Structure 1
């Protein structure tokens, strides 16, 4: 063979596509999804069949799990032992499976998510109800296929004498498909199957009179009949699953919440931990203790409350913020006719009925063949006994067994099978009484053959047989329903005022976005030291607030973060805060511009935004009260290259001054900016030259005496009164604040309103920092360029201007 012939020149996507297609088909059909007929995935079916074949059944002693796992791997399922053992464990966990398929001795895990003991320690056997899945498998009721090494055969599907898929549910993820079928109540499902089988025109509404909804092994309360109905109709739908809770009165006027059932698939230990974290982090006030009192008598979680606590409000908070209430999404996908299919309740039941009809037919055919074979033998024996002496003489005169058989066939017209039965007959059977026994058996066989032929000849009789089998399973295994179904989904209303402990705290926000709240005690003990911060970080602001207040953080890209103070981490004054991204997801390129404490979102107050491109927007503060605040919210609409320069809280009656980079100042009434909605863009505040931008803006009362302090990029500073300007109106260019120079003109970096307490900090590009006291400077007019506070030739250009307050002690 030449080198060129040995290789196929194929595009990679074709090869990958083909291989992935084959892999997906295998995963879907042979691993992750259950069969619509017996409700089992291949690994589960192989485990049950291997245990059955090995005689590891409910009426025999327990046997080491490792032995079963070895059998399954060696004979049917050539995969890892952990995948087999995990599947076996799940079928034995009473908090996962509504009707256990495997009984286990030893540690098989727990509802707290503890791992099971290794398979060498545990023992298992089939449960009683598993026998119903395998019943009559030896009567050729199902097809067999060769196993992976063709050494023996395994069943394609189990006979399944009860609708296991709906009773025990299933969950799995394959390639392109996933499934989530909840467990149901055995008795209800069987009633539903019988109803649909006897009356094929049954509607979903009829079925739902007997099948109320899911019945989880862990109990709980399911809310939302509409969700159940939609899931049963389409295969997809969602319901709310809520824990069973009760508020108990204790002595001394205190209360406690006891939880006795939790939602399906919730890990109890994680739930208890989460509830305790809410208590520890003071996210909710009123919880004294959370403890797990579960013992062998049953599940019990206790949430002890403080004396004045509102039990209902706390319970609602726990429902909303923990897994005490979860959403369950139906996604009823099963393998039907070798294809994954999203199926509603009726198609699933129909798939089971069709399977049962086939199983019952094949069983009847098998029994009929056996009965006819036996009838033939019995007839031969009766005939032989009636001519016993001649038969004995013939046998005695024969050479051997083969010769004897041939002689009997030739002389008395017996068939091969009858002759075999006669020559192997034991002598004690030749008593007189035996003929009556044989005649009774012949009559019984005749009756049985008629019965089986009738079943095979009539659909109605076939259905009666299936129904009888289902009713016997129901009688033997039905137990009370565990999950309560409620029609409506209860809306959870949380009044945070009741739940948050009212406590005065110090709130700090740094420029890099680190936030915290600190108890007043910790703050006082610090003796005026600055709060703990990362190196190089600076304090943006600090406020004395209450835990019932809200902190609004505005960013330069036009978003705002809504942070209830009680959500802030409670950290000591001298320790670093936590980054705001831990509470609210923040854009990497964004940064916090302004922090604002809000006690109440009143309609009389408004927020005024000024942007770099000279836009102004004013909206009512009340519009900024948020219900959901896990991500940044829009404060105003910005154009692509714009950003916020200033955010002010006003009453709408103030006056506004705007300063620009090229040295223009504009003074007008705030009322000129009309109120707009929260997400609006606003109006033009100042008419800028092409290469100009807004650097500062502030508001003041009409009667205020206002002094401005200007800092330029060359390190020059000057102080001047607002009276140097004429009051104008919105969208004008404004008046110059500096004398224009032919070369190296001054550019404004900051323009602040100053008082006797104000100090100004100047930062340069080379990292030099200078603190200036504006009160030491004389007033200037609009046409001077002030005096140099720093030498920009040495220190570099000024990059930032900050305003601080003189400490009271200075």
Structure 2
């Protein structure tokens, strides 16, 4: 017995080698199509296996399971489901432009329904699939042994039409992906002929005959520039939208009728998404969505309410559903056994080179056959001219072998001619047969001349390829299905038209629970029993319209863009939805402020951000309007552990006051901070001591406003704003409490006094408690506050906020 051998190899070398081999296999032999015949190995094996078994277009259908078994047993040693799924896809006329497999039975649907099991369906090759296999038995392509060396399979099919472009391809392998759209058969053949006539023709020239992709589901392509870029580089982006029309009904209402949808869009999901917009009241004006598709064709009806804006609703559906989708070309195929990103001219050149090879091989095969037959015909004609001597020689022979030897020796026949003579049937030994042989000899001469001309002349070779292509075009080309528009239409949606206008209440709590509540739900509870977790508090209550937007800011300098109409409608008594269900936030990220916005384009509207370290940033409100808002967006660049403490909405002409924990206050005009971009960090607003930090930033309407200042010791002080001198930014500011060396005052929160609000504080040991601010007397900045809370009993004050009186 042979001794075992052990190799001591680093794991990373072994893994790297094995993965490299696996990747090479996946790329070359599974996921990517060949640039010559446009097929992946499994597709090629399915078609070849059906051809070998005679399961072709002019024969009866056969069970799909039989074909799958033949493919697995002879050529493709993989799972039956992968083979059957590939076979089903070749039969789906909404996936491939020209089906290669005809199937009886349920082969799936555009709604995403799976095909019936292979034991229930029957299949055969389509007529056009036979064009991919035409002349394969004439040694046109290379054959290699199958996986167990019991038979042979083709490396590539002869492909009498450019299947890679006609049916497209999609696939993902290790490190490579491909996305090639289907095209119109006639246009692709015209492009191939143009390329053969002029090998220097440009993409612009090709676009005159090959307009762009032609999807089996029709639809409208927008973006000629994207098509051109894709044909030039292999990559490009276009927009595909469904074909929809607005119809007027007798009742005076309108309806939108969709008759074609974008390629590879699931119709059932599209209809459900449209209906969900109606159910969730994200889109006003739709009364019903119906799928009326039947055997006559696809038809989705969106019935509208009276006086609904049909054009606006259609635009909204284009923007927010798969009625319009982007399509990205990524034309990767196997070319010379390597994956390569190919331009349109390169794909056409690869196909033309393949056809030259196929036609050359076919011509050589037919030439050999013709020359062999010519040789036999010459022998038979010679034999008929000396028939009596030939018969006498055969009769004088002992057996067949002796007869052949005698013919070769006496009359100088070759082995092949002698074999043909001794195999000749007696009835053919008539005088009339010589004319048939002479006619055949002439035809063979002509054929040999023709074949030699093809093999010796590039021009004649190309002429033969063109003739074959024109025959395929004439036989199989149909009408173009997809319309191409040059420009990508910018969709403008007037949200006020789309959204049901309704006055609602939006509430956001400090812990991040938010909800939109109707006034009906609020009034049913008389504004009481507000749903909120114990220990949580209201951050904002906004009386707002569904057409408005809420900007929700966090301490980390991020913001959430929340159109009110998209918020879930939740009862006043219920808890609401947590922001973490909408976007992902960091663990220690908390809500700081909520700003309602009615119109982003309004002039002289700014957001001012105040940070813990005294930075101030001012930015135009309009810069916070966005189209995509599925994640948290950057509102201000917060650096080195700093965080946002306040966000203020201003008109650009207000005064700001910043107050620190150590009781310093600085008042300055907001004009000192220039407006900057969204991602900027801002400027130094206040020069804060190392052990101090800003607790609040406020906008002032008047110097006669009163500030209510609350300290950690339970002291509360009412002070006029004018006590703080108007200064400039980036200064330390003034002390606004009497300075004490032992147990100094530390400010926890500041609010502007307003009779319409009640003020609350949070205590360490007693929770929330209301302050009686009506009883407070005005004090100057050198005095201390009034002790309103016994902190020895309740614990220190940790938070301060105010609530409108009608909120209870």
Match of 2:205 in 1: 206
Contact 2:516 2:568 (8 Å CA) reproduced: yes
* Segment drifting more, 501-510 vs 405-414: 405-414
Q: Which residue of 1 is the match for residue 638 of structure 2?
A: 638
Verify the 8 A CA contact 1:220 1:261 in the aligned structure 2.
Answer: yes
Aligned to 1:236: 235
Deviations 1:296-352 (A, max 9, x none): 000111111121221212211111111111111111111111111111111111111
The alpha-carbon distance between structure 1 residues 381 and 550, as it changes in their structure 2 partners (threshold 3 A), is same
Check the 8 A contact 2:703/2:720 in 1, yes or no.
no
User: Do the aligned partners of residues 753 and 443 (structure 1) sit closer, same or farther apart at CA in structure 2, a change above 3 Å counting?
Assistant: closer
- Distance between the aligned counterparts of 2:582 and 2:622, measured in 1? 22
SS in 2 for 1:210: coil
Deviation at 1:156, TM superposition (A): 0.8
Q: Deviations over 1:651-696 (max 9, x none)?
A: 4555544432123344x35456445234354444444322111223
Indicate the larger mover: 79-88 or 585-594.
Answer: 585-594
Aligned ranges 1:572-587 → 2 under 5 Å: 572-587=571-586
Cα displacement (A) at 1:404: 2.6
CA contact (8 A) 2:285 2:308 kept: yes
* CA–CA separation in structure 2 for the residues paired with 1:746 and 1:390: 138
SS of residue matched to 1:289: strand
Matches within 5 A, 1:208-607: 208-534=207-533, 536-601=535-600, 602-607=602-607
Q: Aligned equivalents of 2:760 and 2:542: distance in 1? A: 21
CA distance in 2, matches of 1:757, 1:343: 70
- Aligned match of 2:716: 718
Residues 102-113 of structure 1: pairs in structure 2 closer than 5 A: 102-113=101-112
Contact 1:635–1:678 (Cα < 8 Å) also in 2: no
Aligned partners of 1:150 and 1:626: how far apart in 2? 62
Alpha-carbon offset, residue 788 of structure 1: 5.9
User: TM-score, normalising length from structure 1?
Assistant: 0.94
- Counterparts of residues 63-78 of structure 1 (less than 5 Å): 63-78=62-77
* CA displacement, residues 699-735 of structure 1 (integer Å, 9 cap, x when unaligned): 44326452524231x4x22333327935342344444
Structure 1 equivalent of residue 616 of structure 2: 616
Shift of 1:757: 5.7
Please state how far the C-alpha of 1:621 moved relative to its aligned partner. Answer: 3.9
Provide Cα deviations, 1:738-768, integer angstroms capped at 9, x if missing partner.
Answer: 4444444342222333455654433344564
**C-alpha distance in 1 between matches for 2:761 and 2:32:** 68
1:6 is paired with a residue of what secondary structure?
coil
SS at match of 1:129: helix
**Deviates further, 106-115 or 641-650:** 641-650
| Displacement after TM superposition at 1:521 (Å) | 1.3
Checking the alignment, whether the CA contact within 8 Å between 1:686 and 1:730 is kept in structure 2 is no
- CA drift of 1:596 comes to 2.2
Query: Would the aligned equivalents of 1:240 and 1:328 in 2 still touch at CA under 8 Å?
Result: yes
1:352 and 1:654, CA in 2 relative to 1: closer, same or farther beyond 3 A? closer
Secondary structure of the 1:253 match is coil
Judge conservation of contact 1:554–1:594 (CA < 8 Å) in 2: yes
Displacement, 1:198?
2.6
**1:283 match: secondary structure:** coil
Out of 29-38 and 530-539, give the one that drifted further: 530-539
Query: Is the partner of 1:251 in helix, strand or coil?
Result: coil
Query: Deviations 1:422-471 (Å, cap 9, x if unpaired)?
Result: 22222222233223222222222222222222222222221221111111
CA distance in 2, matches of 1:548, 1:538: 26
CA distance in 2, matches of 1:652, 1:500: 31
Q: Which residue of the partner structure matches residue 693 of structure 1?
A: 693
Change (3 A) 1:231 1:8: same
Deviates more, 1:690-699 or 1:655-664: 655-664
Q: How far did residue 791 of structure 1 move?
A: 3.6
Structure 2 spans left out of the alignment, 5+ residues: none
RMSD: 2.5
> Kindly tell me: are residues 692 and 469 of structure 1, through their superposed partners in 2, closer, same or farther at Cα, counting changes over 3 Å?
same
Q: Distance in 2 between matches of 1:705 and 1:599?
A: 27
Structure 2 vs 1, CA of residues 223 and 745 (structure 1 numbering), >3 Å: closer, same or farther?
Answer: same
Rounded to whole Å, the distance in 2 between the matches of 1:52 and 1:417 is 32
Structure 1 SS opposite 2:127: coil
TM-score normalized with structure 2 length: 0.94
Aligned with 2:264: secondary structure?
coil
Deviates more, 1:259-268 or 1:745-754: 745-754
